[in-house]
């Protein structure tokens, strides 16, 4: 008898909003993207049927299907389209679909932590 595994998909996404360049000399404030990233992350975390974790280099998404992941990416883009000075939005996506067992993002981290304790 085979048991059906409920797949959990994990996605790592990075959304980069490109703003209009000015002729003024760049300073630290003008190079930052945290305001735009906050807008995109807020839109992502409002998507139903996903868990999200913000990291310094991207957002981790845990979902039961591809549609939820794609909805999250679309929500990020939609939220940034109306932001001032944004001319382009670039996203990178990595998706991990495990078919043999259900593993959460927390389970993956815990597995590594347990191995560190074994040393």
Q: How far apart are CA 53 and CA 66, in angstroms?
A: 17
pLDDT for the residue 42: 98
Q: For residue 44, which of 14, 19, 17 has the smallest C-alpha distance?
A: 14
Which CATH number describes the domain made up of 8-118?
Answer: 3.30.70.930
Q: Each residue of 57-93: pLDDT tens digit?
A: 999 999 999 999 999 999 999 999 988 889 999 999 9
Instruction: Give pLDDT, residue 1.
Output: 43
The ranges assigned to domains in the chain are: 8-118
pTM (2 decimals)?
0.82
Structure tokens at 34: 């945290």
Distance, C-alpha 67 to centroid of its chain: 14
Q: Which two tokens stand for residue 86?
A: 């944004």
The predicted model gives 94-117 an average pLDDT of 92
């Amino acid at each position: 008898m085979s048991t059906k595994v409920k797949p959990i998909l994990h996605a790592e996404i990075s959304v980069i909003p490109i703003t209009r360049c000015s002729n003024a000399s760049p300073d630290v404030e003008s190079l930052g993207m945290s305001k735009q990233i906050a807008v995109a992350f807020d839109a992502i975390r409002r998507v139903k049927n996903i868990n999200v974790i913000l990291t310094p280099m991207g957002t981790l998404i845990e979902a039961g299907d591809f549609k939820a992941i794609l909805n999250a990416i679309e929500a990020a883009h939609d939220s940034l389209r109306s932001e001032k000075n944004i001319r382009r939005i670039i996203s990178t996506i990595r998706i991990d679909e495990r078919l043999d067992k259900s593993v959460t993002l927390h389970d993956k981290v815990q597995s590594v932590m347990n191995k560190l304790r074994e040393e």
